[in-house]
Amino acid sequence: MLIERLGRVDYEPTFEAMRAYTESRQGQSADRLWLCEHPPVFTQGLAGQAQHVLAPGEIPVVQSNRGGQVTYHGPGQVVAYPLLDLRRAGYYVKEYVYRIEEAVIRTLSHLGVTGHRVAGSPGIYVRLDAPGSHAALTGPRPADEPFRGLGKIAALGIKVSRHCTYHGLALNVAMDLQPYSRINPCGYAGLQSIDLSTIGIHITWDEAAHLLGSKLSASLAP
């Protein structure tokens, strides 16, 4: 997998570039991992509902073809786009999602933070009261408050075309989190979004990108 650092790039041209690369791939086309950050933008998934965009203000809302609902991208967030041939990798979409989440969990663990999955809600969450605690979440989550005590630190939204992936995930490092209050993140009213700096982990964007990139490369290997 070729890891490419794109720096800060606009969302729409990047979306079009990864879609074009995916649609033009041949059997021996290289797998790539693009690491970047975007200027402020809200993106809607294919099933995105307008009522989850509460007050975008001056931040543009862009329709995409990934799965999921609305999310936010902005400076201080590492966005990772794996462009991967799943047939060549030898696993299916469900395992692909698991491996992406596992790479985020391992990235956080390296930093002393415990990441958690919540059933039915892709992405990675941390305990707000004790983000460094290694204690697992116990018991089922309350049906009416599945995110009680949790903050979302990494969002996931993917697209698979001809067995090849694009879009990906976003890890919040050191952001202005206020724009999340203008949406229902991932379609959940009241879901709190957090970043590493909020929970006391101070790391540069470059350091976080390098760490996440290495964990993704290892986790997504055939």
Query: Which of 150, 186, 209, 220 is flagged as catalytic?
Result: 186
User: Do the beta carbons of residue 38 and residue 9 sit within 8 Å?
Assistant: yes
User: Do the beta carbons of residue 140 and residue 33 sit within 8 Å?
Assistant: no
Amino acid in position 4 = E
Residue 186: active-site member: yes
Measured between its terminal Cα atoms, the distance across the chain in Å is 10
The residues that are catalytic are 186
